[in-house]
Amino acid sequence: MSDTRTFTQLFTVDEADALIARLRPAVEELLATFRAIRSEIELGARETKLSPGSAQLAQRLEAGGVVPRLLETVNHLIGQIQSKGCLVNGPEQGLIDFPCLFNEEIVFLS
């Protein structure tokens, strides 16, 4: 997989493995925050009888303030993780990619 973007860091397998342990608390908090967001959506949908994907429910959740604060937490955690040189590729699943140079091409260690 070739990529023309510039990365602040390219990782070896050992470097990626070492960083995973240090990133674990932030990733666990990210996963917990997404669980809280899903819970708020489900609760709001039950209480209002609106579809979880409806614009009206989204407006109510935004007005309530809880989900926007949780999304701020998500953005902060993603920034914290990506500041280490890796990419958050699947935030709801905690998927992180580590750019690596292999045969003169950028590939991603996951």
Q: What is the pLDDT of residues 53-90, one digit of tens each?
A: 899 999 989 898 999 999 999 999 999 999 999 999 99
Nearest-5° Cα angle at 72, 59 to 50 = 25
pLDDT of residue 53: 86
Q: What span, in angstroms and rounded, lies between the C-alpha atoms of 10 and 47?
A: 48
Q: With bands split at pLDDT 50, 70 and 90, how would you rate the model's confidence at 5? A: low
Residues in the chain, overall count: 110
Q: Helix or strand or coil: residue 50?
A: coil
Name the percent of the chain lying above pLDDT 70.
Answer: 95
Helix, strand, coil tally for the chain in percent (to 5): 55, 15, 25
pLDDT at 99 over 60: yes
pLDDT of residue 40: 92
pLDDT of residue 1: 44
